Amino acid sequence: MRDSAGAVPRPGGAARAAVGETIKAAVFDLDGTLANTLPAISRLLVKVASEQGRPVTARQAAAAIGKPPGPAFGKLLGMPEDHDTVVAAIGRYRELFAYEVLREGPRLLFPGVAAGLSALRAHGIELAVATSKGTRGAEALLDVLGIRDLLGPVITQDMVRRGKPHPEMVLRAAADLGVAPWESAYVGDTVGDMRMAVTARMEPVAVTYGVGSFGELAAVAGTRMCGSFKDVVSTIAAARPRPMAAAAAHPRKR
């Protein structure tokens, strides 16, 4: 059962339950987690904002990465999301994305990602992606990275009513995989990713090579910290489900 915000209700008590079950699914962020697109995306954001008459710094652009296009360009341009200039910027960004980002191809993969995803599949773990990208951009990126066949459902911004950090996206990914949220991990590189995972009752797994700093990510209670994708694989393979799994696996007798 979910509450009115779409999140799974929290069970009583914060202690983890060791019920002898491993995590059954892993849902991944894309930019900054699987793909090292951040430098190219940052340059593109700077370019598009400049074309719209609003010069921004690389640092400002980096802070917008990971947000849906509307909020990202709204913040960069200092305008409402539905302003004509913001809409034009989003269109221009999508127009240039293939040339500015996708041309990098498999070189965009972080070290160990392809082998790591294959290893997780060998462990019997179901895999999915939940990203603030649109469907077209996400699928195109996964194709040029050469990892689309290793992943199951790809849930994108245009497939849900409420994007990150609302949990709708990751809850849908878990449902499409046929796995309960508390039997799943979400792997991302931002504080919003970790908060989304916690709200969805998923195992929050942070990579420290993306946008978020170690301190910011570690400040989200329960987050498992990973300095490489190899660490992600070992963490997920060893992780135990969240407390609700105990209630599901061992209901009380009346």
Give, as one character, the DSSP assignment of residue 43: H
Query: At 140, phi and psi to the nearest 5?
Result: -65, -40
Give, as one character, the DSSP assignment of residue 35: B
pLDDT at 85: 94
Angle among Cα 18, 170, 94 to the nearest 5 degrees reads 150
Angle of helix 84-100 versus helix 69-77 axis, rounded to 10: 110
| Mean pLDDT of successive 10-residue stretches along the chain, which has 254 residues | 41 34 90 93 93 91 82 92 94 89 92 97 95 92 96 96 93 97 96 96 96 94 96 86 46 44
Partners of 184 in beta bridges: 25
pLDDT at 7: 45
CB 190 within 8 A of CB 209: no
pTM listed for this prediction: 0.79
Helices (H), the chain: 38-51, 58-64, 69-77, 84-100, 113-122, 135-145, 168-177, 191-199, 214-218, 229-238, 244-249
